[in-house]
Amino acid sequence: MGISERREREKAEREQRIVGAARMLAEQDGWASVTIRRLAQEIEYSQPVLYAHFENRDAIVGAVALEGFGELAPTLRKSALKGATSRQALEDVATAYLEFAFERPAVYEAMFILPSGLRFAKSDTPHVLRETFGAMMAVVEPLCTDVEIATEAFWATLHGLAELERHGRIRSSHRKERMRHIVDMFAGRHLR
């Protein structure tokens, strides 16, 4: 019967509206202003309805984070293709990563800082998470011996840059210079 199917479709739509509203509010006024009540108001349902979709507030953050990974992974993949040299590919991916972090700070926060219930580097890690790591690994791979170690280091550096700059700890005015310095190091300017 098509009735239950329609119901499921409607429920999925509503869920998407919740995630969308959370993302919009977070991007607009920060995650602190994303409350269950506010979201309920936004989708025009009462608060308890939200708990039929998500176990708790963290799970909503997690849903936004997952959306974010779904966008970041292909973005990085594409950036990796343009560059002629492997050094250029590395720089392009790094730049794309930081651009993502600065343009969608709230989503980035959900992905990497806030408690979201997402599990990394575990057996049940969602595909998009692995895919994001894989995209970074792909550009690091031709430049080193231990790929995983190097990728973790590369990622950590990018994350640190994004976070310290977002919090005003380092000078936004020197983003480019820092990037060159770092890419030079990772690309192993010394080896070629």
Partner DNA sequence: GTTGACAATCTAGCGCTGGTAGATTTATTT
Partner DNA sequence: AAATAAATCTACCAGCGCTAGATTGTCAAC
Tell me if 56 contacts its own copies by CB under 8 A: no
16 binds DNA (CB under 7 A): no
Contacted by 121, from its own copies, DNA, none: CB < 5 to 8 Å by type: its own copies
Give whichever of 1 and 191 is closer to DNA, judged by the CB atom. 1
Among 19, 21, 22, 34, binds DNA (CB under 7 A): 34
Angstrom CA distances, 132 to 23, 74, 75, 93, 102, stand at 20, 8, 9, 11, 17
For 46, list phi and psi in degrees, rounded to 5: -80, 160
* DSSP characters over 39-59: HHHHHTS-HHHHTTT-SSHHH
Distance CA 190, CA 118 (A): 38
Count of residues near its own copies by CB under 8 A: 37
Q: How far is the CB of 76 from its own copies (least distance, A)?
A: 16
Per rule CB under 8 A, is residue 31 in the interface with its own copies? no
- Orientation of helix 86-103 relative to helix 127-140, angle to 10°: 140
127 binds its own copies (CB under 8 A): no
The correct pick among 14, 17, 130, 178 for binding its own copies (CB under 8 A) is 178
Closest distance to its own copies from the beta carbon of 43 (Å):
27
User: Which residues neighbour 142 within 8 Å (Cβ) at sequence distance 6 or greater?
Assistant: 86
Quote the least distance from Cβ 29 to its own copies, whole Å: 14
Applying CB under 7 A, among 28, 56, 85, 125 the residue interacting with DNA is 56
> Where does this chain bind its own copies (CB under 8 A)?
112-113, 119-121, 144, 146, 148-150, 152-153, 155-161, 163-164, 167-171, 174, 177-178, 181-182, 185-186, 188-191
